[in-house]
Amino acid sequence: MGRYLVTGITFGVFMAEALIHYNMGRMKEDKEQGKSPRFELPPAKELAKIAAVTGAFSVVSGVLINSLEKYVPPKV
């Protein structure tokens, strides 16, 4: 599998997870304040920070998977 494909898929999955975790924390805070919980995107600066961290870890994951495939070929 191509490194870019692995990195892109990893980014998509990790970003979705990060947004779910962001909203879990936000909803807990809303519940404590008596507000009704709903899913929202974070403010632009916060979203950019989340995307940067997620992107960095996705690239690392892609590089590690690509390197591992060279040393441990798939048994298909």
Residue 20, pLDDT above cutoff 90? yes
CB atoms under 10 Å from CB of 7, counted, come to 20
Residue 70 token pair = 């060279």
Q: Which of 53, 59, 54, 57 is nearest to 3 (CA)?
A: 59
- Residue 1: pLDDT band (50, 70, 90) is low
CA distance 16 to 20: 6
Predicted TM-score (pTM) of this structure = 0.77
Map out the domains of the chain as residue ranges: 3-71
Sign of the CA dihedral 57, 63, 66, 70? Answer: negative
pLDDT of residue 18: 95
